[in-house]
Amino acid sequence: MRSIGEMARDSGLSVSALRFYDRAGVLVPAWVDPVSGYRWYEPEQLEEARLLARLRRAGMPLADIRLVLAGWSSVDTHLVRGLFQAHLRRLELGLADARNEFSALRALLDHRENPMTSLHGTNARLSVSAPQLAAALDAVRFAAGTDPDLPMLDGILFDLAADELTVVATDRYRMAVAQAAASGYDGPRVQVIVPLPLADAMRALLRGGEPVRLTVDGGRVSLESDDRQAAGQCLDLDFPDYRRLVHPPAGRRALVDVAAFREALEAGPVRAGRVRKQDGESYDVSVLRLADDGTVTLCEDGEDDQDDVGVNRTFLLEALTAGARSELILEVGAPTAPLAVRRPDDEQTFSILMPVRLED
């Protein structure tokens, strides 16, 4: 017989999904160890599991899946074919409704004015601490997007206010925010998106300890340090309102030693082979469990608890590097809430990572 781990590997369903379908009575294991509770499956159940995985990827409701599995081995296939056709009709109707809604939303966007990010008539000049701006850019650069369909994320937001400069980057799956002290500007808040090549050129100028001059003139932004300058056009696009996204529900906190935690992540267990639906990229998932005493545990496959949080391991490792501290705070809330990585001495510089759903 097949163990639940082997069944997960060969079927495309996760261990947690197999346990869920057992509890739901959809795919019940052939035998459950009465002592350990471990599940075992007959070899012929693999075909059912693979069928179940395909149906779930197609978005079929659980009630219909039960009927498909019940009728799959029948000589009369009319029931199964009818269920397939009915589900396709639902998907087509749902897509038509979604197209109508997004058409209406695009019309609303076309008529909506957003002076906060408009570059027309925008002018600002301020002095910024070079070491702080360098550290801020280093803290957010890893989270910048590269999706050609979302060019507004292919840059770093510079949010200029009277006494501070906030820089923000996001690729939808993670967001990083950092601040640098600024002076010499007392006008209204100004936001501009600096393209990544220009942001990298600005970072290369920040070698000394003297303040640098940041200037926004309409659609152009420049950074001057001594007799050197990096300048170019801003992206004339709208960046998401990051201030609405950076306050996830408060969760449990743990102060982690970055070197030790990094070593544990790199060598620890992962859920392999996950694929992001948006771009088709595969990634490994680390599952974190945060105890009340602040201990962080990396969970083995098959040991999930309802409060465990799955996170893209590469993203978490990059966030630890960007945190640039020997110790960092992990803030873990509900499994559906973002995970935050914060500095103990500077909570205005942080990153948040979207969780990965553990049950398929």
Q: What percent of the chain has pLDDT over 90?
A: 46
Same fold, 123-243 and 247-353: yes
The mean of the pLDDT values for the chain is 87
Superfamily per CATH, domain 247-353? DNA Polymerase III, subunit A, domain 2 (3.10.150.10)
What's the average model confidence in pLDDT over 131-140?
96
- Comparing C-alpha atoms, which of 26, 17, 12 is closest to residue 65? 26
Confidence of residue 206 (pLDDT cuts 50, 70, 90): very high
Residue 55, pLDDT score = 92
Backbone torsions φ then ψ of 136, nearest 5 degrees = -65, -45
Start-to-end CA distance of the chain, whole Å, equals 23
Q: Give the domain ranges of the chain.
A: 2-87, 123-243, 247-353
152-165 pLDDT, tens digit per residue, is 899 999 999 888 89
pLDDT band at 143 (very low <50, low <70, confident <90, very high): very high
- pLDDT number for residue 319: 96
Q: What is the pLDDT of residue 327?
A: 96
- Find, among 123, 136, 126, the residue nearest to 213 by Cα: 126
188, pLDDT greater than 80 = yes
Is 70 exceeded by the pLDDT of residue 110? no
Average pLDDT over residues 289-303: 82
Rounded distance between C-alpha atoms, residue 159 and residue 115, angstroms: 13
* pLDDT above 70 for 357: yes
Q: What is the per-residue pLDDT for 333?
A: 81
Residues 6-31, mean pLDDT to the nearest whole number: 89
Question: What tokens does 349 get?
Answer: 């510089």
Q: pLDDT, tens digit, for every residue of 237-282? A: 888 888 887 776 677 899 999 999 999 999 988 886 666 655 567 8
DSSP β-ladder status, 228-233 and 123-128: unpaired
Report the alpha-carbon distance of residue 178 to residue 157 in Å, rounded: 11
The arithmetic mean of pLDDT across residues 279-302, rounded, is: 82
Segment 285-302 mean pLDDT: 85
Cα(18)–Cα(29) distance, integer angstroms = 9
Q: Which whole-number Å values give the CA distances from 298 to 4, 201, 287, in the listed order?
A: 20, 38, 6
SS3 category, 222:
strand
The answer regarding whether domain 2-87 maps to CATH 1.10.3720.10 reads no
Inform me whether the pLDDT recorded for 116 exceeds 50: no
The pLDDT of residue 118 is 45
Share of residues in the chain with pLDDT > 70 (%)? 92
Q: What is the pLDDT of residue 247?
A: 75
Rounded to whole angstroms, how far apart are CA atoms 90 and 323?
A: 46
pLDDT of residue 196: 96
Residue 132 has pLDDT above 90, yes or no: yes
Rounded to whole angstroms, the Cα distance separating 214 from 226 reads 12
CATH number of the 123-243 domain: 3.10.150.10
* pLDDT tens for each residue of 50-91: 999 999 889 998 888 988 988 887 777 888 888 899 999 999
Does the predicted model carry a pTM greater than 0.75?
A: no
pLDDT of residue 273: 64
**Does the structure show a pLDDT above 80 at 323?**
yes
